[in-house]
Amino acid sequence: MESKQNYQLDRERIPQHVAIVMDGNGRWAKKRGLPRLAGHNAGMEALKEIVKRSDVLGVKYLTVYAFSTENWKRPVEEVSGIFKLLIVYMKKELDELHANNVKVKIFGDYSRLPKESIDALETALEKTKNNTGLTFNIALNYGGRDEIMRAVRRLAAECCDGQLTAEQLTEDMVSDRLYTGGIPDPEVVIRTSGELRLSNFLLWQSAYSEFVFTDVLWPDFSPEEYERCIAEFQGRKRRYGGV
């Protein structure tokens, strides 16, 4: 992997939309003999810095994978702790996010979360809904296949109602009915902790995204490492199936 000292970030070519799979909280905690929740807490601190750096760099959309539809399989104590940390994060950071013109959006069905978590999220959504700076998308109880199925069901219902015919369906119609409707696809998807997979994240939207993988565990993912990943993306030649 390219060393941190060697990257050259071109601030004139910052991607509009960056997506991140924040992985490695549990391993970070285990390496230190700490409970897994300590890793999630450290991960929240890392997230705060990455949101700030995204804003400074001029990223228009930042989408982070916070909790997947599969994460419910984790121990109850860990899941409960994650949602409590989410409440703490929102209450602690909301005023600063709003002051910096950041718009918060949620991708996923957050209705399953505890009421206090839902209340914290909806307060953030309402307070920042008219902001025009960085759009901060939090994928929460999110799964890429579930998202696509929801879009397909909506289109099927519209066909059954006579609003559309099967022959009229287009890719754009599917895209418009995803959580990301109206948002450009991510140019780059970053995954931390050395894992080399998407894990059901933005499956439709990442069809032509560039992937950047780093061995750094999420709690250690610094703004400098973030910039290095973007610089690595900038060094790619995007062909979109061409030559």
Residues with catalytic function: 23, 71
Task: Quote the CA–CA distance of 221 and 215 in Å, as a whole number.
Answer: 9
221 exposed, middle or buried (CB, 10 Å; 0-12, 13-18, 19+)? buried
Residues 243, 18: contact at Cβ < 8 Å?
Answer: no
Q: Considering only CA atoms, which of 238, 233, 237 is closest in space to residue 20?
A: 233
C-alpha of 142 from chain center? 10
Query: Which candidate, 215, 174, 169, 172, places its Cα nearest to that of 191?
Result: 215
